[in-house]
A and B are shown apart, each in its own frame.
Chain A
Amino acid sequence: MKKYLIFLFILYTCFLFSQEILLNIKDKPNDDGSALLISWDTSQIISSKIIIERETSDGKFITITSSEEPIGTFEDGSKIITGIRYEYCLTAYDSNGEIIQITRTTGESSAQWFNKDKISLLIFALLITISIVYYIFSARSGKHLYIRKIAGLESMDESVGRATEMGRPILFIPGTLDLDDMQTIAGLTILRKLAQKAAEYDAKLIVPVCRSMVLSTAKEVVKEAFMKAGHPDAYDPNSVFYLTDDQFGYVAGVDGIIVREKPAANFFLGAFYAESLILAETGFASGAIQTAGTAMPSQLPFFVVACDYTLIGEELFAASAYLSKDPHQLGSLKGQDFGKAIFIIVLVIGIILEISGVHFLKDFLTLH
């Protein structure tokens, strides 16, 4: 019996000690294998600080993190290579800086072929993509696709005509962001059509830009448009020019152009920030007919107030399809509408489920 009790005591002591520090190394899920997740629990011992180190290829230990919290997690993403087993060492110190205990463990990272956290995103992306591609191809079969009138785009002829009659230039601003923003590209697609019309009417076009990448693209777009209109000789390479990357420096430059050149028509199509109203109000004061378009929700009210026509959000992106009347492009708009229908359905279901206290849809749609 005594032996039995001693055995139980030893077993219990071992159990207690084994519980003192927990150090866990796990592969970070859904990544390219460049990180390991470290978690520790030193709540069983009274430590005031812990230091976690990792062994390098030359056998030395480098500090990865330190903490005063007894329980915590840390993501080690510094130079982790897939397939290598790394040894980690946790050292717990007391308030005097004396080492209480050292625990070692190992872990290995691996890369995943699919990010499961983004499954909801993939499903929606696929649904919308399939619907857009489907409608693009169905448009090919000659099916008539209706598109409502967009006043801002219909007015282009009026603006160019007015500029020609008055003998004043047309000003085009493709926003203040770079070419990696889709709004800038949408603005440039409208510029192509506008430049073509300006060439046909023999109106002067001014395009000051605030990004160098946009400069080269806008130049190419205007040049091609003049060639397409049959007036390559009318193209002035200096009509598209760079001012500055600086937001308000650019505004000052454009305002100067508006005041000096007094354009008959102003087009502000692209991404805008606080400069939107400064530009539009200066244009309004100069008496120009103004068309604006942006997907920046906070700038839309300013444009609505100061401009004659405003393309709101998606209308800016629909402009290219609208102006070209190309069935393929129109088909893609129909696909977008289908996407919108999906959103509305999911939103309504989501609201009902949330009110009913069922949260699975919200959890499913949340990106982690």
Chain B
Amino acid sequence: MGKSKQIDRRWLFLLIFFGVALPLIFTIGLPLETTKNVQMVYDLVDSMPKGSKALISFDYDPASMPELHPMAKALVKHCFDKDINLIFTAMWPMGVQMVDDIINQLKDDYPDLNYGEDYVNLGFKAGAMITIQSMGKNFREVFPKDMNGNSIDELPIMDGINNFSNIGFVFSLSAGAPGIKEWVQIAHDAYGRPTSGGCTGVSAPAMLPYINEQKQLTGLLAGLKAAAEYELLINTPGTATSGMDAQSIAHLIILIFIAIGNINYWRDKKAGKKGGK
């Protein structure tokens, strides 16, 4: 660590607080453009034929809601618009509540959607990788019943779903482990299903190696920015779009402080040289 004079970090915290809070109240509406990874996810969903089935796993909890919830909502909305039937699962216990929350938010926009036909919430299952592996072998043994205790044999959406074969694509909204990595290793690597995911901005660098020629991951929604881009692609600005102003201002404050830090460092260095050794 440098010995140069540093500003008390509490000033920085205070500025970050206002920098985040104010743009959330007073929206600026800064411009946004779509990046490749987000476009790949959009294209994957868009290419699915009407009536196909997708598995979306909610592998996060309330802590990551601000980042992952907007992208979850945008993705689910896009799927419903495309008439893709959705099978929801959760590898994190709190993921079940996250699914419910998203469905409740979208319920009014899609009054014709029927539970059990257009979507189903299979709930949480412990076991992480082992559970995903078992799903690949026999879906019905892992999830004999849905969240509400209905036998999945009675749910029309589950007709013909015995493993990953009839699933158009798998999507994991992940805040850690188990999450994207585990789904890639099983759903894509072992069963060859197109797999995609959304994660927090912090964990994005660890996921990027999976976006490769083998398409272990078909695109990635990383952080709030990706969520905002997705909202832009489906023409439904939401919380991510408004949150982007806050994120941008916070980044700007950090950049200003980095600049101040460097100026201080160079000034001290110069003063040290002038003062002699």
Residues of A within 8 A of B (CB): 34-35, 63-68, 73-79, 177, 246-248, 271, 273-274, 285, 296-298, 366-368
Contacts and interface: CB of A to CB of B under 8 A. Distances in A.
Interface in B40-77: 51, 61, 63-64
Contacts of A367: 189
Which among A68, A273, A367 has the highest number of chain B CB atoms within 10 Å?
A273
Contacts of B192: 368
Taking residues whose C-beta sits less than 8 angstroms from the other chain, chain B's interface range is 20 to 34
B206 A297 contact: yes
Given A298-B202, A298-B203, A78 B138 contact: yes
Contacts of B175: 273-274
A78 B162 contact: yes
A34 B61 CA distance: 35
Contacts of B160: 63-67, 74
Contacts of B241: none
Interface string B140-164: 1000000000000000000110110
A297 B204 CA distance: 10
Contacts of B270: none
Interface of B: 9, 51, 61, 63-64, 137-138, 140, 159-160, 162-163, 165-166, 175-177, 189, 192, 200, 202-206, 214
A244 B31 CA distance: 42
Contact of A75 (B64, B159, B163): B163
A298 B189 CA distance: 22
A243 B51 CA distance: 46
A285 to B, nearest CB: 8
Given A78-B162, A177-B177, A247-B176, 14 more contacts: A35-B163, A64-B160, A65-B165, A66-B159, A74-B160, A74-B166, A76-B162, A77-B162, A77-B163, A78-B140, A273-B177, A274-B203, A297-B205, A297-B206
Contacts of A285: 9
Contacts of A247: 61, 63, 176
Contact of B176 (A273, A297, A366): A273
13 contacts: A63-B159, A63-B160, A65-B162, A73-B165, A74-B160, A74-B166, A77-B137, A274-B64, A274-B176, A274-B202, A298-B202, A298-B203, A298-B204
Contacts of B165: 65, 73-75, 77
A68 B51 contact: yes
Contacts of B203: 273-274, 298
Contacts of A273: 175-177, 203
A4 B137 CA distance: 54
A248 B63 contact: yes
Contacts of A66: 159-160
Nearest to B94: A246
Given A64-B160, A77-B162, A296 B206 contact: yes
A274 B63 CA distance: 10
Contacts of A77: 137-138, 162-163, 165
Contacts of A298: 202-206
B166 to A, nearest CB: 6
Contacts of B138: 34, 77-79
Interface pairs A-B: 8 shortest CB-CB: A65-B160, A298-B206, A75-B165, A273-B176, A78-B162, A248-B63, A298-B205, A77-B163
Nearest to A74: B165
A367 B191 CA distance: 10
B124 to A, nearest CB: 14
